[in-house]
Structure formats: C-alpha cells, structure tokens
Homo-oligomer: A and B are copies of this chain.
C-alpha cells in the first residue's frame, strides 16, 4: 500500500486531467487507469461550478490533487494553493513553479520556498521538481509529503532520462518518490517502479494516445507489474549465459 500523509492507496498510478478530447474520455480513462489520486490544474476549474465543471467528471472516491500550474514564483504558487483550498478542493496541493517556457522545467528554489509556507499552513504538499538530491532533501525537511522528480520534460514522452539522479534520490530520501513527467510508454512506468519508485504520474502519454482509455489500462497493468517485480526480488544480471535447459550431452551420454 502507498501511504501519503497518512492516507493509504492501493493503486500506484496517478493520472492528470489535461489534453483529453473531452470530459467523457477523461473520465473513462481515469476509471480504466484505476487511479486513486488525480491532479487537476486549478486554472482549468471553473470556480463557479457550471455545467463544464471538470470536478463533476472525476470519478467518486478519488483523491484530488490540485496543481499550481501557471505559477512562476513561490508567491504565485502559494496564492493558487490558498484559492484552491478556499474553493473547497481540499488541502492537497502539487506545487508546480515554472518560469522556463521551452522545457517547462520546475524551479527548485522557489518550489522549496512554497513548500515551507504551505506545509506551515497545513497543506499536504507534493512538490514537482527537477531531480537533484540536495533539493529533494530540503523539500523533505520542509515537510513535503512526497517528492515528484521529473523523468524528462513534461509532455515529451522521452522516458526516464534522469535515472541516475532519481535512483540516488530514491536511496537517500524517506518520503515517497513519485516519478512525474516524461513517461511515454508502459515499459517506462514499469521501469520506474522496478527502480523503486513509490508511484508514477502519467498524463500526456495517456491523453494523446490513439486510444486513451485502452492506454490508461495499459499503464495500470504496467505499474502493477513493475511494483510486483520490485517486491518479488528481481534476479541478478550476468555478463555470460546461464542455461535454463540442460545443454550438453543429451544424445551422447
């Protein structure tokens, strides 16, 4: 079971709500994914709650994790988080502070600042981050409930390119690690789990697939496969071969 801020979850695939064709497709994809935690950009939420109110189409029982996308500074992220809570969307927040407009890479320094403030204010804080050990340590010290290092730039579908640093973070940090951004294929989600990730967050790879609903299912299976493998103890690799069948002398002995 995955435990974040005292809550337990049995599914380790988190999904996003962006880029789907419509709410119907989004809802079906989330259902197929088995996700128990879903992120939504507050900007996308019509705070007057009209017909197009996105929250109507998030399956019941799912933990909402509003994100601060659009924030370029700690201050802006803090304001968005407060607005989110005031709007009745709960006290979870995924901090995204981004000023780089080409690669959409998070600003760790501002993210750490926002984490400190929002933890103080009682939020459950999950910072999205550029993989760096010392920044992850500061977020953990500031009270983050998990850290969310990126695998590669958002929406690039390039997989876990920052593997070296993510592995080090997994080894050195105690709070859950959720690999977020860049995962483009189920095999990459499995790999993150085999490496020891506690969960992964996938959005673009599902929402932009030819069939998002089927792809959501594929990611669900892949995350489960990777987690079981991690828990079942992967075998050792070796340079040379090891026969799985007896190889010599069948006919001659």
Contacts and interface: CB of A to CB of B under 8 A. Distances in A.
A247 B98 contact: yes
Interface residues of A, number: 100
Q: How many copies of the chain does the oligomer comprise?
A: 4
A107 B80 contact: no
A229 B185 contact: yes
Interface string A143-185: 0000000001111111001111100100010000000000011
A123 interface: no
A207 B69 CA distance: 46
17 contacts: A42-B250, A43-B246, A100-B133, A100-B137, A101-B247, A108-B108, A109-B138, A153-B240, A156-B238, A157-B238, A184-B235, A186-B190, A204-B244, A210-B232, A211-B231, A219-B225, A221-B228
A79 B237 contact: no
Contact of A222 (B212, B225, B246): B225
A157 B237 contact: yes
A137 B98 CA distance: 13
A11 interface: no
Contact of A163 (B161, B229, B251): B161
A11 B60 CA distance: 33
A168 B248 contact: no
Contacts of A232: 209-212, 214-215, 218
A102 interface: yes
A235 B157 contact: yes
A95 to B, nearest CB: 13
A233 B185 CA distance: 10
A220 B190 CA distance: 13
Given A204-B244, A221-B221, A221-B228, 5 more contacts: A104-B241, A108-B134, A109-B112, A153-B241, A186-B229
